[in-house]
Amino acid sequence: MDHKFLQDGMSAMSAGATTLTGWSLTILGATIAGIVAGNFLRPTRFLRWIYLLFIPGWIFLGISIWNGDKVSRRLAAAGFTDNHETLRDIAALMNSDYISQRLFFEFALLAFGCWLICLLFLWVFGKEEISKAK
């Protein structure tokens, strides 16, 4: 495999990891802002339980961000070697980290998607009203 081709692939993986990290941080910030900004509404006791779905979502986002950081650090490490075998090993590890990053990002989306579906069903079919906080 050509040295330049391998470096280009590693750069593309790093760019993808950076994009996913940006999305993860955006989702993390938006969910926290949604809880803080929604402080004027006090959901019913039952409705508050579905907010526990944020916890696994945040954990998955954290793991996704951590794996994305590993991808970026491996690209930086690859810049310090001219050895083709070492470069291939780094690329293989980057690929594994990038796959993990995407997987945990998808798990986070699943957790937040479940929260949204639960909220929608409770909003449509629920009989309790949301009270205003005092």
User: Does position 29 have pLDDT exceeding 90, yes or no?
Assistant: yes
SS3 state at 132: strand
Q: Specify the pLDDT at position 75.
A: 93
The four Cα atoms 43, 48, 52, 58 give a dihedral, to 10 degrees, of 10
- Banded model confidence at residue 26, pLDDT cuts 50, 70, 90: very high
Q: Is the pLDDT of residue 131 over 60?
A: no
72 φ/ψ angles, rounded to the nearest 5 degrees: -65, -40
pLDDT of residue 104: 98
Model confidence at 133: pLDDT above 60 = no
pLDDT band at 36 (very low <50, low <70, confident <90, very high): confident
